[in-house]
Amino acid sequence: MAREKKRRSRGRRSPLAAAALIGAGLLLTGGAYAGASAAIASSDTQTAAGAELTVEDGQKLFVANCATCHGIDLEGSDAGPSLIGVGELAVEFQVATGRMPLQMQGPQAPQKHPQFTDAQIRAMAAYVQSVAPGPSYPDEKILDGEGDVSHGAELFRINCAMCHNVAAAGGALTEGKYAPALTSTSALHIYAAMVTGPQNMPVFGDMNLTPEDKRDLISALLYQQEAVQVGGFTLGSLGPVSEGLFIWIFGIGALVALTVWITAKSN
C-alpha cells in the first residue's frame, strides 16, 4: 500500500505546469495568426498599390477623405475652398506633398509625409479633373532638366528669389507664413507650384513664363539640387544673417576666450 501511494505522488502534475502549457499554446497560436494576418495584409497592400485605380475609385477616396471640407460636389464649405477649376495638377501637388488632408488650421499647410499611395493620389486627381477640369500634367520635355540652366537661374533670381532665397533655401514671409525650400522638390511639383499658385505663391501663366521658360527654371533648380557646394559650410544658405550669427558666436567668442587666457597667463 505504501509503494502504491508513493507511485501515485510521483505521477501527479503541478497546476502551474498545466497553466504554463496552456499559455504556451495560446502564444504559439496567437503568433501564427498574427504572422499570417500580416502576410495577407502586406500582400493586399502591394496588390492595391500596384493596381491601376479608376476615376470611380478616386471619387470614393475623395468622398471618404476630402468631401467633409471641400463638399461632395467640390463646391467647398466653411472649412475648405472650392475645387472647381483647380485641376488634377493642383490635387496631385497638395496631396502628394502631404499638405492635404490638412492636419490643423494655421497660417499655411505644412509639408508632411503623404497619406495615400501614388495610385490613389492619381485617382483622386483624375476624379477632380473629370468633374471640373483645370491645369493638367505637363509634357515630359518640360520636366527633363535639359533646359538652359543659366537662363533659368536668371529667371529664378527675378521671379522667385525674393521669397525662396537666391539659393532656393526658403525664407520667412509675413504673419507666420513662409516660402518652402526647393532643395529637394521634384520637377513636377516645381511646375505645379508655378502653374497652380498654392497658398501664398502667385500663378505664373504662359503670359508670364512661357513653357520653355518654365523648363529652363526647373532645369536650373534641378542643377542646383545636384551641384556640389564648394564654398565650405553653407550655414543653411540663409545669407548674412546666419553668417553674422556664426561670426558673432564663434569669432567673437574665440577672441574673448583668447583675451581671458592671455590675462590669466600674465597674472
Dig out the grid coordinates for 200 from the structure. 501664398
- What single letter denotes the amino acid at residue 202? P
Give one word for 176, left, alpha or beta, with left for phi > 0 and alpha for psi -120 to 50.
left
Q: Is the pLDDT of residue 14 over 70?
A: no
Give one word for 87, left, alpha or beta, with left for phi > 0 and alpha for psi -120 to 50.
left
* Whether the domain at 48-136 and the domain at 138-230 fall into the same CATH topology: yes
Confidence at residue 260, expressed as pLDDT on a 0 to 100 scale = 87
Regarding the domain delimited by 48-136, which CATH topology (the fold level of the hierarchy) does it fall under?
Answer: Cytochrome Bc1 Complex; Chain D, domain 2 (1.10.760)
Span 138-230: which CATH code? 1.10.760.10
Pairing between strand 178-179 and 171-172? antiparallel
**What is the domain partition of the chain in residue ranges?**
48-136, 138-230
Confidence at residue 62, expressed as pLDDT on a 0 to 100 scale = 95
Q: Is the pLDDT of residue 146 over 80?
A: yes
Region 156-167: mean pLDDT is: 92
